[in-house]
């Protein structure tokens, strides 16, 4: 080194600069701040059996149409298909998932969990009926009578429960957040019937409650490795407060505490699944009745969510098209703070799995869910489902203050 090149102060400055550069480069290799918006609360409301064309512009649904105008409308949203495949609009080879129960399972877990339509063959099913399609969805040359058929909307056999597979609730809880479903007219969380306590009523229907299938009501033995997918009883709540007649335990509802007193939406779980009863979800009553229920019970949350960093998703379980035929779009709309939820119409072709993936991504749970799903299922339709567990694009705006990826 030449004497003229050595200046202590200058070289110390250079050394410090070099160290700073190395530190910056090393920091760039580590975890970066996420640009994904994390809503303080997310509420998903599921309605029944209407195509988007039956809702949009319909005078019977003024509140739903108001949400369409003030939220993000997914113009090419579909229910899932059975057997599962990425939806291709107009493809007659793809059958929309029927009936309700498999659709709720797809939305909640990215799988129908083996619950097939009641007109599909299903060799391990305890239910007998007439099959017009094979278990793979192929039309049979002739109907088969008195053969095991899919569970459809009937009670999932007790020996198959609890399900011990990845699901929305377990993934959200594993991510350090909280989850609960709120089923209107559910008698109490441990109630395991197919419908109301009084069969003459047409209110609560278990087929619309996916959460309960992952709750170990029978106290069955569950392998240690799968216990993390089993949900606690407290995740299966009524829309109003309920009381277990056997234990006397009181449970909260959606916007009321365990004693029925109003509570703020800030006390909701991080993610909530809301299912109106059959008189209020457009299943057994009019679309107008469902719209009125939404305006009464969900509009206050929607208004609150816009001002409190939270999200509302309203969707339908399936379309209103005939049972056998290609799927039609369903109404799916997202509402939240305008700086976080874009307002407009989006043409990205999506289904229930993309809605599930979007919620999971918001809470940093998508990668873990996809990994668990891939480990749990190995079939052609499961591989197609795994490939489509992708979040929506352009709808939820990223955080402006997050550092850009290197």
- pLDDT, residue 400, reads 73
CA 223 to chain CA centroid, nearest Å: 25
Res 92: pLDDT: 55
> 6: buried, middle or exposed (CB in 10 Å: 19+, 13-18, 0-12)?
exposed
| Both tokens assigned to 233 | 């009883």
Judge residue 158's burial from the number of C-beta atoms within 10 Å of its C-beta, 0-12 exposed, 13-18 middle, 19 or more buried: exposed
The confidence score (pLDDT) of residue 323 equals: 65
Give the pLDDT of residue 286: 97
Greatest CA separation for the chain: 100
Residues of the chain with pLDDT under 70: 1-33, 87-94, 322-325, 401-406
Which pLDDT value is given to residue 82? 84
- How do residues 149-184 score in pLDDT, each as one tens digit? 999 999 999 999 999 999 999 999 999 999 999 999
**Nearest alpha-carbon partner for 298 in 52, 33, 109, 46:** 46
Distance CA 330, CA 263 (A): 32
pLDDT at 32: 55
Report residue 128: phi and psi, to 5°. -105, 145
pLDDT of the residue at 7:
35
Q: Distance between the two ends of the chain, CA-based, in angstroms?
A: 37
Q: Let me know how long the chain is.
A: 406
d(CA 212, CA 187) in angstroms, rounded, equals 13
- Say how far apart CA 55 and CA 75 lie, in whole Å: 12
Tokens 């970066």 — which residue? 32
Q: How many CA atoms lie within 13 A of 326 on its CB side?
A: 9
pTM (global) more than 0.75: yes
Half-sphere exposure at residue 98, Cβ-oriented, CA atoms within 13 angstroms: 20
Tell me, what's the pLDDT at 214?
Answer: 98
Rounded Cα–Cα distance for residues 347 and 345 (Å) = 7
Give the dihedral of Cα atoms 166, 336, 257, 216; nearest 10 deg.
-10
- The pLDDT value recorded for residue 23 is 37
| Per-residue confidence (pLDDT) for residue 25, from 0 to 100 | 34
Task: Enumerate domains of the chain plus CATH numbers.
Answer: 36-113+160-387 (3.40.720), 116-150 (no CATH)
């Amino acid at each position: 080194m030449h004497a003229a090149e050595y200046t202590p102060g200058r070289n110390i400055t250079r050394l410090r600069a070099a160290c700073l550069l190395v530190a910056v480069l090393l920091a760039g290799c580590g975890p970066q701040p996420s640009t994904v918006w994390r809503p303080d609360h997310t509420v998903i409301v599921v309605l029944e059996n209407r195509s988007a064309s039956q809702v949009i512009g319909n005078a019977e649904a003024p509140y739903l149409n108001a949400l369409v105008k003030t939220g993000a409308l997914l113009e090419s949203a579909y229910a899932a298909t059975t057997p599962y495949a990425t939806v291709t609009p107009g493809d007659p080879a793809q059958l929309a998932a029927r009936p309700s129960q498999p659709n709720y399972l797809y939305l909640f877990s990215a799988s129908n969990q083996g619950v097939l339509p009641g007109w599909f063959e299903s060799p391990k099913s305890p239910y007998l009926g007439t099959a017009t399609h094979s278990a793979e969805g192929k039309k049979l040359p002739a109907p088969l009578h008195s053969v095991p058929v899919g569970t459809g909307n009937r009670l999932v056999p007790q020996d198959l429960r609890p399900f011990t597979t990845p699901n929305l609730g377990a993934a959200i809880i594993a991510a350090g957040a909280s989850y609960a479903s709120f089923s209107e007219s559910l008698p109490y969380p441990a109630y395991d019937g197919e419908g109301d306590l009084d069969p003459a009523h047409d209110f609560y229907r278990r087929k619309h409650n996916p959460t309960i299938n992952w709750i170990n009501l029978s106290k069955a033995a569950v392998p240690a490795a799968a216990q993390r997918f089993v949900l606690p009883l407290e995740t299966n709540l009524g829309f109003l407060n309920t009381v277990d007649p056997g234990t006397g335990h009181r449970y909260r509802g959606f916007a009321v505490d365990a004693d029925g007193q109003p509570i703020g939406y800030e006390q909701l779980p991080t993610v909530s699944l809301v299912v109106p009863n059959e008189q209020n979800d457009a299943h057994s009553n009019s679309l107008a009745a469902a719209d009125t229920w939404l305006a009464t019970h969900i509009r206050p949350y929607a208004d609150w969510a816009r001002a409190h960093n939270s999200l509302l998703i309203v969707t339908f379980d399936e379309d209103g098209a005939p049972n056998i035929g290609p799927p039609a779009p369903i109404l799916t709309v997202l509402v939240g703070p305008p700086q976080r939820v874009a307002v407009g119409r989006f043409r990205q072709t999506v289904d229930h799995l993309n809605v599930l993936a979007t919620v999971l991504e918001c809470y940093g749970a998508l990668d873990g869910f996809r990994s668990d799903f891939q480990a749990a299922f190995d079939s052609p339709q499961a591989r197609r489902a795994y490939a489509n567990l992708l979040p929506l694009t352009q709808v939820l705006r990223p955080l402006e203050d997050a550092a850009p990826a290197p």
